[in-house]
Amino acid sequence: MQVYNYRNYHLIDPNKECLEILDHMDGFTQDFKNPILERLKNNKIKVRTQYIFNEQVKTNYPNLSFQFTGLFKTVESLHKFQNFNNKKNFRNFLCSFNGTDNVARQFLTATLFKMGWFNSNYTSKMFGTFRDRIDGNIDQFFDDTNQSRIYRKFIIDDSDQGEEFYKSVHGFEYQPYNHLSNINVLADKINSSFIQIVSESVGVSYHPFPTEKFVYPLVCKTLWLAYSQPLYHDYLEKYCGFKKYDKVFDYSFDTITNPVKRLIALMSVLHKFSYLSADDWHDLYLIENDTIEHNYNHYYSKDYLKCLQKYTNE
């Protein structure tokens, strides 16, 4: 069976009877269409992927027989990490780690800068961009130009400092795919932050696709929310058994399909916590302690893989 990943999606042969397509597959549109599956849809093909597809995807591609092969394999890569810092000492509100350039990370890092939450000691941005590019990307998610004008005010900084920030690169010894090395570099930044914003791959796609990124705060026993695809947190709870921190956080932002509106809704959730003291953050952390411990143990026991087993067998 031929196996493909993001490096060779363009070589996928639609005449094969069985294909395995790894990674994010370039994401899904709002009506759950996918550029790769569009090329395959007229043939009877068994397609193995790292997605558990919703019913609309299956309806869109009746000729294709889908099989889930398991989560993105790097999710398992942090099983060997040991978090020796069991005592939280919150010195910082928020951390977030943004690797390769994509539209969602342009939006997220720009918004963090606009909010005054981008602390280069705790947040990375491994790419440079420019204001007009981000502005144009905002426009593509709105038919109403007035809506676009409103939402850009929460993302775009029109000052010289803003343009300088967009062009800048901020990093922390990042090694692609070497997650054990990366977590050891980032663990102290995560442990000393009240919350981590997980910056997922293809965040402007419309079908959930979790990678290893949510595991970083989980193994550090740190509260986190993700800027990712709609219903991402529901997906991890339903299929993997990881619980939400819903005693403290309102997850209604996760149901918003428009990625720009979803981001600003996420920022609204966080805004009220940014004014609190470190003692307040610690108290909120203790409120979610049972869930934090559940998710930590659920990962290291590999029980989440047991939850997924029935879907790999289907």
Q: What is the mean pLDDT of residues 135-152?
A: 96
Rounded Cα distance, 177 and 66, in Å = 27
Domain limits for position 6: 2-69
Q: What is the mean pLDDT of residues 172-180?
A: 82
- Asked if 211 and 88 sit in the same domain, the reply is yes
- Asked if 55 and 99 sit in the same domain, the reply is no
Residue 183, pLDDT > 70, answer yes
* Residue 314 confidence (pLDDT): 66
Q: What is the CATH number of the domain that holds 130?
A: 3.40.50
Q: Of 29, 54, 69, which residue is a domain's last?
A: 69
Residue 87, pLDDT > 80, answer no
- Asked if 58 and 80 sit in the same domain, the reply is no
* Residue 175 confidence (pLDDT): 77
Q: What is the mean pLDDT of residues 193-198?
A: 98
263 HSE (CA, 13 A, CB side): 27
Q: Of 69, 85, 115, which residue is a domain's last?
A: 69
* Contact call for residues 298 and 241 (beta carbons, < 8 A): yes
* Residue 284 confidence (pLDDT): 98
Rounded Cα distance, 237 and 227, in Å = 16
- Asked if 86 and 182 sit in the same domain, the reply is yes
- Asked if 252 and 138 sit in the same domain, the reply is yes
Selection from 246, 284, 250, 283 nearest residue 268 by Cα: 250
Mean pLDDT across the chain: 95
- Asked if 116 and 262 sit in the same domain, the reply is yes
What band does 177 get if pLDDT is binned at 50, 70 and 90?
Answer: confident
- Asked if 36 and 147 sit in the same domain, the reply is no
- Asked if 131 and 148 sit in the same domain, the reply is yes
- Asked if 13 and 84 sit in the same domain, the reply is no
Residue 110, pLDDT > 70, answer yes
* Residue 121 confidence (pLDDT): 97
Percent of the chain with pLDDT over 90: 88
Rounded Cα distance, 195 and 206, in Å = 24
User: 100 or 295, which is more confident?
Assistant: 295
* Residue 84 confidence (pLDDT): 64
Instruction: Report the domain count for the chain.
Output: 2
Residue 85, pLDDT > 80, answer no
* Residue 278 confidence (pLDDT): 97
* Contact call for residues 163 and 130 (beta carbons, < 8 A): yes
Q: Of 69, 86, 111, which residue is a domain's last?
A: 69
Residue 8, pLDDT > 80, answer yes
Q: Which two tokens stand for residue 46?
A: 């068994």
Rounded Cα distance, 204 and 228, in Å = 7
Rounded Cα distance, 307 and 51, in Å = 15
* Residue 14 confidence (pLDDT): 93
pLDDT in tens, 236-293: 999 999 999 999 999 999 999 999 999 999 999 999 999 999 999 999 999 999 999 9
- Asked if 205 and 237 sit in the same domain, the reply is yes
- Asked if 96 and 38 sit in the same domain, the reply is no
- Asked if 300 and 162 sit in the same domain, the reply is yes
What band does 86 get if pLDDT is binned at 50, 70 and 90?
Answer: low
